[in-house]
Amino acid sequence: MCGIVGYAGKEDCVDLLIDGLQKLEYRGYDSAGIAVIQNSHIEVKKTKGRLADLVDKMETEGRLKGCCGIGHTRWATHGEPSDINSHPHGNERISIVHNGIIENYREIKEFLIEHGYSFESETDTETVLKLLDYYYKGDPIDAIAHVVKEIRGSYALGILFMDFPDRIFAVRKDSPLIIGIGENGNFIASDVPAILKYTRNYYLLEQNEIATLTEKGVDICDIHKNPVKKEIQVADWDLDAAEKGGYEHFMLKEINEQPTSIRTTISPRISDGMPYLEESGMTKEMLKSYSRIYIVACGTAMHAGLIGKYVIEKLAGIEVTVDIASEFRYRNPLITDKDLVILISQSGETADTLAALKLAKEKGATTMSIVNVKGASIARESDIVIYTHAGPEISVASTKAYAVQLSVMYLLAFELAYAKGAITKEECMRLTKELQNVPDKIQDILVLKERCQFIASRLVNAESLLYIGRGLDYALSMEGSLKLKEISYIHSESYAAGELKHGTISLVTEDMPVIAVATQSDLFEKTVSNIKEVKARGAKVTMICREGTVDDKAVANHLVTLPDMDDIMMPMLALVPMQYIAYYTAVLKGCDVDKPRNLAKSVTVE
Ligand code: AGP
């Protein structure tokens, strides 16, 4: 996934482009570049490396200057990170930046080579540029319309035409792109944080709509040049939400924002002490009608779905299948129109999850999405959407988004169980109240950071770790393992504690630390036995459990204790030490916590 920006207006655009790219670096950061129309030429500066390297390059080679330009920060898909593969791609007539993947770029490239074109880069984007050039006969909209009819895949394109030095053009399909409406000019951007400093007002571009931006305004049309009217959206994020706010990393800030994020997500969905999801369009009658529920997502969002599975099955007695989106979309799932398919996605742009949504709709299922970004593709294409209100999650490693996804899973489980008559109103209110207590409990345990820092110091040199647990603890341990891997680059594996003895325990030595989650009362003793099994083989064990359930060194080498809550709610607390341990291990290793290598915030390609 990449970040693209663009500006057409009265002001010099270079600072605006760089600032916008800075807010989008979480989307991809292996190379960066800008193109500006300057003295009747398209001038380009681009480089492998971070945005800072691009700024340095301009300092040494001379800054660009102009009122019309486009910019790009890359997460490489086709072609390794390099100067030549970085965007913008262009020639003297046209320059483009692209986020997405062109699936049929090879056949288009062959066609263009047969028509005299040559290629310098390994990217699919250069193919789009040359196809635009091939069709351009003086009308940019015509050329763009021809191109979008031919290319297949996902794209958000920012385009400059030298013949039109006062405007930029944009078109998208399946990759996000918004049109910012400013006072002194107008913007294109992959995401809201890039424009927040200049405007809160923006348009959402639909599939294959073409936008023309000038200083004076924005015209949008379809590929047949029919004008399209747009409703202005207003960003409800505040500016500092997209800043670090004094924390060393966005991840630490977002861990600490969890109490607020959970409160703002659940409060509007609780009425008279009961869960209230009707505003999303999900009525109790609908909830009662589903015979099966599928939860489909990727990564951390999928882990939230796993917690949801345990809670829904336990309380509502409805079968829940959790699928990794990239598997779901190719395994021909046996979905019917009686099923509910829930898609969880922080960004709302994850390609595999979006594809799974489309498949579920084709099969007639009701689709409901849980999304953190207003107006994101997955939200717009679902029958029902429940927005989480975590605010912008900038760090690549998801924390507060996971916490609010869990909170919606709980509300859904409570409402579903009550609608099905599986729990009484009193029980539903008690559980809802317990959920409302979570933010304060999390606030109380944020002080665990010193303890977790100490534990991290014991893990930082490990080659590999095991995370173990049973039931909800096992589901949660998957998220802990992913957090550690993705930001500290230390291998780890989440394993069902009861399954260790069937093979994996052969890995356990004094060189393999184990993190054991033991918050479930009915499984506690069994998990303690599993802890003793690994300790007997030399493992140093960190145990995450309730206060007072074990005395210090009797069972584990390190203890992280949590305040008491209902068993079913304990994952909402245990997630904090999981996140802290991963964070401080990565910091101690000197890793780039917010922008881990090889990753991007949202994977909008397959
Ligand atoms: C989370 O820490 C990861 N960065 C990643 O697994 C992420 O959860 C996954 O890519 C799904 O993203 P989404 O929620 O935006 O769909």
pLDDT tens for residues 472-483?
999 999 999 999
The residue-averaged pLDDT of 280-285 equals 89
Give Dmax over CA atoms of the chain in angstroms: 79
Residue 163 CA to ligand 1 center (angstroms) comes to 41
**Rounded to the nearest 10 degrees, what angle do helices 125-135 and 140-150 cross at?**
130
pLDDT at 586 over 80: yes
Q: What is the dihedral of CA 586, 588, 594, 596, to 10 degrees?
A: -50
The residue-averaged pLDDT of 329-340 equals 94
Q: What are the Cα distances from residue 473, in Å, to 72, 398, 442, 457? A: 41, 19, 17, 23
pLDDT at 242 over 70: no
The residue-averaged pLDDT of 261-273 equals 93
Lowest-confidence range among 236-240, 371-375, 482-486, 544-548?
236-240
CB 346 within 8 A of CB 389: no
Return the ligand 1 atom nearest residue 297 CA.
Answer: 16
Summarize pLDDT for 64-114 with one digit per residue, the tens: 999 999 999 987 777 778 888 999 999 999 999 999 889 899 999 999 999
Token pair 């807010």 in the structure block, residue: 23
Instruction: Count other Cβ atoms within 10 Å, centred on residue 56.
Output: 13
Contacting residues for 216 by C-beta, under 8 A, at least 6 apart? none
Instruction: Count other Cβ atoms within 10 Å, centred on residue 245.
Output: 12
Summarize pLDDT for 424-457 with one digit per residue, the tens: 999 999 999 999 999 999 999 999 999 999 999 9
Ligand 1 pocket check for 565: Cβ under 6 Å: no
Mutate to test the pocket of ligand 1, among 603, 604, 605, 606 (most ligand atoms within 8 A of CB): 603
Ligand 1 pocket check for 296: Cβ under 6 Å: no
Ligand 1 pocket check for 398: Cβ under 6 Å: yes
Residue 74 CA to ligand 1 center (angstroms) comes to 18
The residue-averaged pLDDT of 400-404 equals 98
Ligand 1 pocket check for 378: Cβ under 6 Å: no
Return the ligand 1 atom nearest residue 396 CA.
Answer: 4
Residue 398 CA to ligand 1 center (angstroms) comes to 6
Q: What is the dihedral of CA 552, 554, 557, 558, to 10 degrees?
A: -30
pLDDT at 324 over 70: yes
Chain mean pLDDT for the chain? 94
Ligand 1 pocket check for 399: Cβ under 6 Å: no
Return the ligand 1 atom nearest residue 397 CA.
Answer: 2
Residue 300 CA to ligand 1 center (angstroms) comes to 5
Ligand 1 pocket check for 280: Cβ under 6 Å: no
Report how far residue 260's alpha carbon sits from residue 512's, in angstroms, rounded to the nearest whole number.
36
pLDDT at 553 over 80: no
Q: What is the dihedral of CA 410, 413, 419, 425, to 10 degrees?
A: -50
SS (H, E, C) 273-305: CEECCHHHCCCHHHHHHCCEEEEEECHHHHHHH
Ligand 1 pocket check for 326: Cβ under 6 Å: no
Return the ligand 1 atom nearest residue 486 CA.
Answer: 2
Decide if 2 is catalytic: yes
Token pair 């303890």 in the structure block, residue: 451
Question: What does the pLDDT read at residue 392?
Answer: 83
Question: How far out from the chain centre does Cα 536 lie?
Answer: 40
Mutate to test the pocket of ligand 1, among 190, 344, 346, 601 (most ligand atoms within 8 A of CB): 346
Instruction: Count other Cβ atoms within 10 Å, centred on residue 547.
Output: 10
Ligand 1 pocket check for 191: Cβ under 6 Å: no
Report how far residue 545's alpha carbon sits from residue 560's, in angstroms, rounded to the nearest whole number.
6
CB 316 within 8 A of CB 422: yes
Identify which has the larger pLDDT, 391 or 574: 574
Question: What does the pLDDT read at residue 505?
Answer: 95
Question: What does the pLDDT read at residue 153?
Answer: 86
Which one-letter DSSP state was computed for residue 232? P
